[in-house]
Structure 1
Amino acid sequence: MTTSLGVAVIGAGMAGKAHAAAYRAASTVYAPVLPEIRLVAIGDSFEPLGVETAKRFGFERNVVDWRDIAAADDIDVVSVVVANSLHREIVEGLLAAGKHVLCEKPLSDTIADARAMAEAARSAEAQGLVARIGFSYLRSPGIAFMRQLIDDGRLGDLLHFSGRYWTDYGCRPDAPISWRYQGPQGSGALGDIGSHVSYIAEYLCGPAHDVSGGRFHTSIVERPKPLGQVIGHTGGDVSDETSPVTNDDYATFNARFAACVGTIEVSRVAAGHPNGLALEIFGTRGAARWSQTNPAQVEVMLHDEHADVAGYRTIPLGPAHPRYAGGWAMDAPGVGIGQNDLFVHQARAFLEEVAGVPAEASLPRCRSFDDGVHNMEFLAAVADSAAHGGTTVAVR
């Protein structure tokens, strides 16, 4: 095992900060088998934001050009957390420079670029490099417990799945236009948050065979142009000029999975729902549901209960459940779990693989770029369905 790993994060926005904080905390969870983790650099083209993020999370320096990170001898591991259209150039450049790469989802803004990135990752793997995509919700103990209930047969044969991800970051018409609101239909709410629900659905229900009933809607058709840098989803001053919104504020579709059928609905204009991911799955012997609003609990209903107390019961998550024991400073039921913790466990898993920790002694590995390509192909089938009046489209 190497004696130390130098880490950098490219992108200092909201998700970039989550990655920076995660690397800072990764050595504090689970067994202490990691080498020394050196927090080296934050990269962002908007220098004030890069300076602030580097200082806030204890990184040694900030840079404005990602190429400086690629060329740096003291950096081994890089997270790429920037606009989707920039992923391919940066990721391929980092891999060519001999860096291990963790890329945020979706893998890119086009399937062609995503496939090229996957090919680059396979070539890099032959040189001993690790390239992975961050599907952070697969680190959730609640979602893992739902999967365990399915695998154990306690829910019986699956009947159907319901998943929704309602957010409100785009519900205000005065939020500035940015890359998030520009692109083809399917690259908006579906590509941003629908990508999460789709990989979760396949984790619980098996591979998607086909989709139907695809439908997009753009609720706010134009947004003001920013006067300067847009920070996060909505931050920044705006002008009196506007630009058209070209992608989807809302999307919904049906899917047929290996184990059951299901419906997925996503929105970025659901006022009052800042981060409303909710999942529910039904089987012949019971059901289970989980929500990001209360992520430290799962509600379970089983048919073997007495009739006079039948119904959902709330299960507080703790060391008896998967992905929990050893994962927090206080690993006891009732202390709470947040979305930030999922990034810590994701970073931990990635660093364990880079450091050479055997898979059987490590957290479940992060997903491959090939998985990232499949996720985009799943969403592309939804876009194809929507473009043709909701027709059934096979998932590649």
Structure 2
Amino acid sequence: MTASLGVAVIGAGMAGKAHAAAYRAASTLYKPTLPEIRLISIADINEELGSEVAARYGFERHDADWRAIAADPSIDVVSVVVANFLHREIVETLLTAGKHVLCEKPLSDTIDDARAMADAAREAEDRGVIARIGYSYLRAPGIAFLRSLIEDGRLGEVLHFSGRYWTDYGCRPDAPMSWRYQGPAGSGALGDVGSHLSYIAEYLCGEVREVSGGRFSTAISERPKPLGAVVGHTRGNVSDELVPVENDDYATFNARFERCVGTLEVSRVAAGHPNDLAIEVFGSKGGARWSQTNPGQVEVILHDEQDDLAGYRIVPLGPAHPGYAGGWAMDAPGIGIGQNDLFVHQARAFLEEVTGTPEAESLPRCKTFGDGVHNMEFLAAVAESAAQGGSTVVVKEH
């Protein structure tokens, strides 16, 4: 096993901080013990923010230019957590430099760039360099438990799926213009939180076959120009000048999956719902649901219940459920695992693969760039459906 690993994060915004904190904590999870993790650099063009995040999470330094990370031989592993349109150049440069890369979703802002990145990742893997995409919600014990209820037959034949991901970071008209509000139809709420909901749906329901009923809405058509840097979803000082929003605040569509059909809905203008991911699966023997609002529990109904006790029962998640036992200092029922913890599991899984931990002894592997391309093709089919008035569009087979 490697004696030590040097780690860097490119991007110091909200998700960048999640990656930084995750690398700091990854060594505390599970067995076998990881090699020494050296926290070397946080890169961000915003020097004040980058320096603050580096100091906060114990990284040795801040770099204003990400190229310093690519050129540093002491750095082995890099998370790329910046605007989607920047991913390709950064990732390809890092892979050429021999760095293992964990890239945030979606893989890029265009399918052509995503496919090129997947080609670069396959070439890098031939040289022993690993590139993976972070699908953090696949680390949620509640979602993994829903999948086990499906696969072991306790829910019976899957009848249909319902999923929503409502957020409110864009619900106020004074939220400043940023890269999140720019780009083609489908790159807004659908590309941001819909990319999560779509891979969760496939994880539970099997590969998507076709989509229909696509509909987009841009609820707030103009936003003020910021007077300074926009970090994450924060609001700040803005000018009086308004500029047009280019993509979707809201999206909904239907899908046919390998196992069932379903309806998916996403929003960034759902006031009062800061991070409301909710999924529900219905089967011939019962149903189950999970919500990010209460991530430490799953609700289950089974038809073999007594009539006077029929209804959803609350199941506290604990060591009996996937992705829970042995990882945390307190891995008892009712403790719960939140969204920040999912990034720690993700970082741990990536580091295990980089260090050569056998797959049978590791957390489930992170997804490939090929999976990232498929996710973008799924969402592109939704955009095509919406552009054609909701028509049915077949999704390219993965």
Fold equivalence (TM over 0.5): yes
Number of the residue aligned with 1:131: 131
- Is the 2:7–2:78 contact (alpha carbons within 8 Å) kept by the matching residues of 1? yes
Number of the residue aligned with 2:350: 350
Look up the SS of the partner of 1:149 in the other structure. Answer: helix
Give the paired residue count.
396
Residue 32 of structure 1 deviates from its aligned partner by 4.0
Number of the residue aligned with 1:245: 245
Distance 1:14 1:242 in 2: 25
Look up the SS of the partner of 2:115 in the other structure. Answer: helix
In the alignment, does 2:211 pair up with 1:211? yes
Distance 1:129 1:263 in 2: 38
Look up the SS of the partner of 1:281 in the other structure. Answer: strand
Give per-residue Cα distances to partners, 1:17-56, cap 9 Å, x unaligned: 0000000000001114211100000000111010000000
Distance 2:74 2:32 in 1: 22
The within-5 A match list for 1:211-230 is: 211-230=211-230
In the alignment, does 2:55 pair up with 1:55? yes
Look up the SS of the partner of 1:266 in the other structure. Answer: strand
Distance 2:277 2:116 in 1: 31
Look up the SS of the partner of 1:37 in the other structure. Answer: strand
Distance 1:215 1:359 in 2: 41
Look up the SS of the partner of 2:17 in the other structure. Answer: helix
Distance 2:336 2:146 in 1: 18
Distance 2:336 2:260 in 1: 31
Residue 234 of structure 1 deviates from its aligned partner by 2.6
Residue 235 of structure 1 deviates from its aligned partner by 3.1
The within-5 A match list for 1:39-54 is: 39-54=39-54
In the alignment, does 2:91 pair up with 1:95? no
- Is the 1:130–1:354 contact (alpha carbons within 8 Å) kept by the matching residues of 2? yes
- Root-mean-square deviation (CA), in Å? 0.5
Distance 1:372 1:200 in 2: 13
Give per-residue Cα distances to partners, 1:40-80, cap 9 Å, x unaligned: 00000111010000000000000011110000011000000
Look up the SS of the partner of 1:162 in the other structure. Answer: strand
In the alignment, does 2:374 pair up with 1:383? no
Distance 1:234 1:325 in 2: 36
Number of the residue aligned with 1:338: 338
Number of the residue aligned with 2:4: 4
Distance 1:171 1:181 in 2: 12
Which amino acid counterpart does residue 151 of structure 1 have in structure 2?
Answer: E
Residue 233 of structure 1 deviates from its aligned partner by 1.2
Number of the residue aligned with 1:183: 183
- Is the 2:102–2:134 contact (alpha carbons within 8 Å) kept by the matching residues of 1? yes
The within-5 A match list for 1:247-396 is: 247-396=247-396
Distance 1:234 1:253 in 2: 29
Residue 82 of structure 1 deviates from its aligned partner by 0.1
Which runs of 5 or more structure 2 residues have no equivalent in the other structure? none
Look up the SS of the partner of 1:196 in the other structure. Answer: helix
Distance 1:326 1:130 in 2: 26
Give per-residue Cα distances to partners, 1:232-260, cap 9 Å, x unaligned: 11332111111100100000000000000
Residue 280 of structure 1 deviates from its aligned partner by 0.1
- Is the 1:170–1:234 contact (alpha carbons within 8 Å) kept by the matching residues of 2? no
Number of the residue aligned with 1:233: 233
Q: TM-score, normalised by structure 2?
A: 0.99
Distance 1:335 1:319 in 2: 10
- Is the 2:318–2:336 contact (alpha carbons within 8 Å) kept by the matching residues of 1? no
The farther-off stretch of 185-194 and 325-334 is 325-334
Distance 1:293 1:51 in 2: 32
Distance 2:260 2:216 in 1: 24
Distance 1:272 1:18 in 2: 23
Which amino acid counterpart does residue 356 of structure 1 have in structure 2?
Answer: G
Number of the residue aligned with 1:67: 67
Residue 143 of structure 1 deviates from its aligned partner by 0.2
The farther-off stretch of 25-34 and 125-134 is 25-34
Number of the residue aligned with 1:195: 195
How many percent identity over aligned positions?
A: 78
Distance 2:235 2:51 in 1: 18
Distance 2:42 2:234 in 1: 22
Which runs of 5 or more structure 1 residues have no equivalent in the other structure? none
Look up the SS of the partner of 2:37 in the other structure. Answer: strand
Distance 1:336 1:295 in 2: 7
